[in-house]
Structure 1
C-alpha cells in the first residue's frame, strides 16, 4: 500500500515518534509517506532525524518529509493527524497563572475550566485554517484524526465549521481499563470487556465484565480501596464511583477540575489529591510536567536519537487508536475502540450536537458507532454541564464574541463554584489581553478589555495554588531517574 499521512504539530516529538512506530507495525504500511509539519523548524528537524534513523535501522522504504509549509505537507494526504498546542507553553502558563489570581486552582486546564476554554479559543481558528487547507489540497475522502486538546471543542469546530470528516482520539479509556483490570486481579486487560460512554475526559465505564462475569459497583469500590497505590492516588475518583455508581476514565487530577465540588477550597484540594505524580491533582501539574519533558528532551536528545536505531518491536505497539484505525480502514481488519464524534443519537440522553466519546467499530466502510446508549442520570448531568460550556466556547471562538466567551467561562462548573460574575468578567479580560497574539478573533475587543482592566476594582491575589511544585532541573530529573533505576 502507498498513501500519505500528514502530521500537524509533529514537533510534539515523543508523541509523533509513538504514532510513527505504531503505524509501521502494520506490515502493509511500510511503503507509505509521512509528511511532518510544525511552526518550529528546530523541532521538525529533531523529529525528522529520529524518524529517519528508525527507517534506516529497519531497512524500510518509508518516506519522511518535513516542512514548515503546512499546505505543502497536506497535499495529497489521505490521513491528517493533529497534535498541535497553539501558543505553546508560554500561553499555557497563562491558562494556569491568571485563573489562580481569582482562586481557580487547575491541575491540567486543557479541556474545560478557565484554562481549557481559552485553550480552545486559541486552537479553533487554527483548526479551521487546517480544515480549509485539507478541503483544498488533501485527498477527496481525507480523514482528520484530532489528538489535540481541548478534544471536544476542536473536534466540534472541525466537524461543524471546518466541514472535514473528523474523529477525535484520546487514550483515557484505555488507561482506565488498565487500572480496573489490575485492581480486579486480571492477568491481562484482554480479560476485561467494557463499554465506556460519555464525553471526552468525562467518559464512564457503564458496563464491566471480567471473563464474562458482570462487575458491580460494590466489588469495584472494594477492589480500588484495597489497592495499595490507587487507594491513595485516586481518592476523588473512588469517591465519585461510590456516589455515581460507575468509574470515570479520567485521572484524579483531570476529573477534579471538571466537577464543582472537589477544588473549590484549598483545604478540599489537599484532601482529595495525591502528590506522588502530577496527574493526581497537583496545581499546574501538567504544565510542570510538560516543561520538564521539553527541557529533558532538549538536553538528552542524543540519547533519544541513539534509541531510534533499535528495530521496531511489533509486540510493543501502543494502544493509541490512530494506527489501529488506519489498519482497519485500509485492510478491513475490524477494530473496536472509543471515538469522539458528533452524537447524532448515539447517546440517547445527551444533546444531539455534542461531541461524545463512545464505542465504535472500524472497517473499510469507516467508523461505525454503537447507537442507543443511555448514561446513568448523574453521569449525563455532569456531561451536559460541560457540553453547554463547550458549545458556548466554540460559538464564541467562531464569532469572536467576548461577551459569549465570558458567559461560557461563567457557566463552567469549577469556575462557578469559586468565582463571582465580576471576577469572571475581569479574569477573561485579563486572559484575552495576555494571549492576544494567539486570539485574532478578539483583536477588536482587546483595547476595551485593556481599558476595563485599568479601572477595575475587582481584587485579585498572587497565589501559587494549594499544591504547587517547582519545575525540576535536569540534574534533579537525572538523579530521580537513576534512583528509580537502582530501586528496580
Structure 2
C-alpha cells in the first residue's frame, strides 16, 4: 500500500517516533510516505534524522520528508495527525502562572479550567487553518486524527466549523484499563473487558468484566485500596470511585482539575494528591515535566539518535489508536477502541452537539460508534458542566468575543469555586494580553483589555501553588536516571 501520512507538530519528538514505529508495525504500510511539518526547522530536522535512522536500520522503503510549509506537506495526504501545541511552552507557562495569581491551582491545565480554555483559544484558529488546507489540497475524504489538547474543543471546532472528517484520540482509557487489570490480578489486560464512556478526560468505566465476570464497585474499591502504590497515588480517583460507583479513566492530577471539591482550598489539595510523579496532582506538574523532557532531548540528542538504530518489533507496538485505525481502514482488520466524535445520540444523557469519548469499531467502512449508552447520573452531571464550558469556549474562539470567553472561564467548575466574577474578568484580560501574539481573533479586544488592567485595583498574589516542584537541571535528571539504573 502506498499513501501519504502527515504529522503536524512533528517536533513533539517522542510521540512522533512512537506513532511512526507503530504504523510501520503494519506489514502493508512499508511503502507509505510520512510528511513531517512543524514551525521549528531545527526540531523538524532532529526528528527527521531519528526517523531516517529507523528506516535505514530496518531497510525499509518508507519515505520521510520534512518541511515548515504545512500546505505543501498536506498535498495529496490521506491521513493527517495533529500533535500541535500552539504557543509552545512559553504560552503554556502563562496558562499556569497567571491563574495562580488568582488562586487557581492547576496540575495540567490543558482541557478546561483557565489554562485549558486559553489553550483552546490559541489552537482553534490554527486547527481551522489545517482544515482549510486539508479540504483544498489533501486527498478527497482525507481523515484528520487529532491528538492535540484541548481534545474536545479542537475536535468540536474541526467537525463543526472545519467540516473535515475528524476523530479525536487519547490514551487515558488504555492507561486506566492497565491499572484496573493490575489491581484485579489479571495476567494481562486481554483478560479485562470494559465499556468506557463520557467526554475526553472525564470518561468512566461503566461496565467491567474480568474473564467474563462482572466487577462491582466494592470489589474494585477493595482492590485499589489494597494496592501498595495506587492506594497512595490515586487517592482522589478512589474517593470518586466510592462516591460515584465507577472509576475514572483520567489521572489523579487531571481529574482534580475537573471536580472542584478536591482542588479549591490550598490546604486541602495536598490531602488528595501524591508527589511521587507529576501526574498525581503536582501544581504545574505537566509544565515541569514537558520542560524537563524538552531540555533532556536537546542535550541528549546523540543518545536518541543512537537508540533509533533498532529493529521495529510489532510485539512492542503501543496501544495508541492511530496505527490501529489506519490498519482497520486500509486492511479491513477490525479494531475496537474509544474515540472522540460528535455525540448525535451515542450517549443518551449528554448534549447532542458535544464531543463524546465512547466505544467504536473501525473497518473499511469507517469508525462505527456503539450508540444508546447511558451514563450514571453523577458522571453525566460532571460531564455536562464541562461540555457547557467547552461549547462557550469554542464559540468564543471562533467569534473572538472576549465577553463570551470570560463567561466560559467563569462557568468552569474549578475557577468558579475559587474566583469572583471581578477576578475572572481581570484574569482573562491579563491572559489575553500576555498571549496576544497567538490570539489573532482577539486583536481588537487587546487595547481595551490593557486599559482595564492599568486601572484595576483587584489584588493578586505571587504564589507558586500548593504543591510546586522546581524544574530539574540536566545534571539532576542525569543523576536520577543513573540512580534508577543502579537500583534495578
Measured against the shorter chain, the TM-score band is over 0.9
CA displacement at 1:259 relative to structure 2? 1.1
Write the distance in 1 (CA, Å) between the matches of 2:336 and 2:99.
Answer: 39
Establish whether residue 84 from structure 1 lines up as the match of residue 76 from structure 2.
no
Write the distance in 2 (CA, Å) between the matches of 1:304 and 1:269.
Answer: 37
CA displacement at 1:384 relative to structure 2? 0.1
CA displacement at 1:439 relative to structure 2? 0.1
CA displacement at 1:144 relative to structure 2? 0.1
CA displacement at 1:487 relative to structure 2? 1.0
Q: Secondary structure at the match of 2:262?
A: coil
Q: Secondary structure at the match of 2:6?
A: strand
Q: Secondary structure at the match of 2:258?
A: coil
Write the distance in 2 (CA, Å) between the matches of 1:268 and 1:429.
Answer: 29
Please give the per-residue CA displacement for 1:94-116, whole angstroms capped at 9, x wherever unaligned.
00000000000000000000000
Please give the per-residue CA displacement for 1:293-323, whole angstroms capped at 9, x wherever unaligned.
0000000000000011111111000000000
CA displacement at 1:63 relative to structure 2? 0.2
Please give the per-residue CA displacement for 1:64-102, whole angstroms capped at 9, x wherever unaligned.
000000000000000000000000000000000000000
Map 1:254-269 to 2 at 5 A: 254-269=254-269
Write the distance in 2 (CA, Å) between the matches of 1:95 and 1:141.
Answer: 35
State the match for 1:272 in structure 2: 272
Write the distance in 1 (CA, Å) between the matches of 2:65 and 2:158.
Answer: 25
Write the distance in 2 (CA, Å) between the matches of 1:208 and 1:74.
Answer: 41
CA displacement at 1:26 relative to structure 2? 0.0
CA displacement at 1:215 relative to structure 2? 0.1
CA displacement at 1:163 relative to structure 2? 0.3
Write the distance in 2 (CA, Å) between the matches of 1:487 and 1:254.
Answer: 30
CA displacement at 1:271 relative to structure 2? 0.6
Write the distance in 2 (CA, Å) between the matches of 1:437 and 1:225.
Answer: 47
CA displacement at 1:267 relative to structure 2? 1.1
Write the distance in 2 (CA, Å) between the matches of 1:194 and 1:487.
Answer: 36
Q: Secondary structure at the match of 1:261?
A: helix
CA displacement at 1:374 relative to structure 2? 0.1
Q: Structure 2 unaligned runs (5+)? A: none
Write the distance in 2 (CA, Å) between the matches of 1:37 and 1:462.
Answer: 38
Write the distance in 1 (CA, Å) between the matches of 2:189 and 2:477.
Answer: 31
Write the distance in 2 (CA, Å) between the matches of 1:366 and 1:38.
Answer: 28
TM-score normalised over the length of structure 2? 1.00
State the match for 2:137 in structure 1: 137
CA displacement at 1:4 relative to structure 2? 0.2
Write the distance in 2 (CA, Å) between the matches of 1:28 and 1:118.
Answer: 41
CA displacement at 1:265 relative to structure 2? 0.6
Write the distance in 1 (CA, Å) between the matches of 2:61 and 2:366.
Answer: 27
CA displacement at 1:340 relative to structure 2? 0.1
Please give the per-residue CA displacement for 1:413-447, whole angstroms capped at 9, x wherever unaligned.
00000000000000000000000000000000000
Write the distance in 2 (CA, Å) between the matches of 1:6 and 1:184.
Answer: 40
CA displacement at 1:260 relative to structure 2? 1.5
Please give the per-residue CA displacement for 1:175-200, whole angstroms capped at 9, x wherever unaligned.
00000000000000000000000000
Please give the per-residue CA displacement for 1:446-466, whole angstroms capped at 9, x wherever unaligned.
000000000011110000000
State the match for 1:452 in structure 2: 452
Q: Secondary structure at the match of 1:359?
A: strand
Write the distance in 2 (CA, Å) between the matches of 1:256 and 1:305.
Answer: 37
Q: Secondary structure at the match of 1:198?
A: strand
Q: Secondary structure at the match of 1:257?
A: helix
Write the distance in 2 (CA, Å) between the matches of 1:344 and 1:486.
Answer: 53
Please give the per-residue CA displacement for 1:101-155, whole angstroms capped at 9, x wherever unaligned.
0000000000000000000000000000000000000000100000000000000
Write the distance in 1 (CA, Å) between the matches of 2:434 and 2:479.
Answer: 36
CA displacement at 1:358 relative to structure 2? 0.1
Q: In angstroms, what is the RMSD of aligned CA positions?
A: 0.3
Please give the per-residue CA displacement for 1:334-380, whole angstroms capped at 9, x wherever unaligned.
00000000000000000000000000000000000000000000000
Write the distance in 2 (CA, Å) between the matches of 1:461 and 1:114.
Answer: 17
State the match for 1:103 in structure 2: 103
Write the distance in 1 (CA, Å) between the matches of 2:8 and 2:276.
Answer: 33
Establish whether residue 368 from structure 1 lines up as the match of residue 368 from structure 2.
yes
CA displacement at 1:251 relative to structure 2? 0.3
Q: Secondary structure at the match of 1:318?
A: coil
CA displacement at 1:11 relative to structure 2? 0.5
Write the distance in 1 (CA, Å) between the matches of 2:188 and 2:438.
Answer: 44
CA displacement at 1:402 relative to structure 2? 0.1
Q: Extract structure 1 runs of 4+ deviating beyond 6 A.
A: none
State the match for 2:178 in structure 1: 178
Matched pairs, number: 488
Write the distance in 1 (CA, Å) between the matches of 2:355 and 2:252.
Answer: 23
CA displacement at 1:382 relative to structure 2? 0.1
Write the distance in 1 (CA, Å) between the matches of 2:299 and 2:217.
Answer: 46
Write the distance in 2 (CA, Å) between the matches of 1:3 and 1:32.
Answer: 5
Q: Secondary structure at the match of 1:464?
A: coil
State the match for 1:56 in structure 2: 56
Please give the per-residue CA displacement for 1:246-293, whole angstroms capped at 9, x wherever unaligned.
000000000000112001011111110000000000000000000000
Write the distance in 1 (CA, Å) between the matches of 2:345 and 2:268.
Answer: 38
Write the distance in 2 (CA, Å) between the matches of 1:475 and 1:333.
Answer: 47
State the match for 1:71 in structure 2: 71
CA displacement at 1:486 relative to structure 2? 1.0
CA displacement at 1:482 relative to structure 2? 0.8
